[in-house]
Amino acid sequence: MKKHVLIIGAGGHAAEVRDYIRFYNKSQSEEQIEVVGFIDDDENIHSRYEYSEPYLGKISDHNILLDVYYLMGIANVAFRRPIVEKFKAMGAKFTGLIHPTALISPSAKIGEGVLISHNASVGPMVRIGDFNILNSRCTIGHDTVIGNYNFISPQVALSGHTTVGNENMFGVNSATIPSIVVGNNNKIGAGTILYKNVGDNQTVFNRFNERIIKISES
């Protein structure tokens, strides 16, 4: 059985998604995903990544195809929700994708349009909302709840019982201690460890003022 997919966006994240589909198809015998093409407001981006599938025009004036599924290939949190809501209002069907190397607990619940990258881990009783990106090697601890349209960067570690709202961006190697609550529309800097709750519309980052140098023993 083939599932026909049109990727929204043609930049770097879309190229990664296209690679994930190749790995997915190699791992599956029953369902295969066939990419019918890409849409992006910049045709030159499509040419840069040398896709074998065609450029099908701009996002801004795209006519919805009812015989395909749409897969979000834009990583920027600011653009994802408006595009999804516009396309769904016009009748678009969306799909997500879980890389075959991801470890997903049977008790986890995954929402619509979620992309889970390679070697990611989603623990028991996790609840993940719609149109989130869980990037490579991230870890979502048990009983964590994630809202909608969040971007979880590579190697992020959300400890157990973390609660995350909507449209947050977690930078590479950021983490939470258990039971932290993060609101909406926040930017969490790379390497930041959250040990206090975060409200809405904040930028949180670690400030490193010291260097620790290990002196070898003679």
Residue 12 φ/ψ, nearest 5 degrees: -60, -45
Domain 2-95 and domain 97-204 have a common topology? no
Stated pTM of the model = 0.92
Q: Cα(139)–Cα(157) distance, rounded to whole angstroms?
A: 5
Segment 119-149, tens digit of pLDDT:
999 999 999 999 999 999 999 999 999 999 9
Residue 89 has pLDDT above 90, yes or no: yes
* Residue entry with tokens 């800097």: 189
Spans of all domains in the chain: 2-95, 97-204
Q: Cα(178)–Cα(98) distance, rounded to whole angstroms?
A: 25
The CATH-assigned architecture of domain 97-204 is 3 Solenoid (2.160)
User: Do the Cβ atoms of 118 and 134 come closer than 8 Å?
Assistant: no
Segment 172-198, tens digit of pLDDT:
999 999 999 999 999 999 999 999 999
User: Do the Cβ atoms of 118 and 102 come closer than 8 Å?
Assistant: yes
pLDDT the model gives residue 217: 55
Residue range 2-95 in CATH 3.40.50.700: no
